Amino acid sequence: MLRAAREAGPHLVHHAGETAGPASVREALTAGRAERIGHGIRVLKDPELVAELRRRRVPLEVRPSSNVLLGLVPSLAEHPLPRLVEAGLTATLNTDGETSLTAEYQRTRETFGYSDAQLAHLARASTESSFAPEAWKTQVSAEIDRWLSR
């Protein structure tokens, strides 16, 4: 059934590596054929998995506020987002609806001291790893560049 769905065109994004460990991400990649991973914050516990995600450029949809709200991370300051980025993973900043995306970017700036360039890097990762048409990605990337050059 998964093969039929994939052949029909829908993209596959699995929530994994949030409450469960790296094995859930590996299963999402193999059996689930995930193109993106929703959350994935526990992947750093498995260096081989980190290397595979980096090599395959599988994006992680990271949601720091949600992870704290659910008690999966004690505080924003302890969230692994910076370590995911430092590991060379494609991390995108997202929200589960408990906050706005703008607020999530602001919290990321305030908590981790991220510069405009670092925030733009996250925004570009989100744009490039989206399933949107290439023309839209090009337009949004240009808007990110304009924002960064202001």
Residues with catalytic annotation? 18
Helix (H) or strand (E) holding 60: strand 60-62
Q: How many helices (H) and strands (E) does the chain have?
A: 8, 4
Residue 71 sits at φ, ψ, to 5 deg, of 80, 15
**8: which 2 tokens?**
């029909």
**119: which 2 tokens?**
């925030």
Helix (H) or strand (E) holding 15: strand 13-16
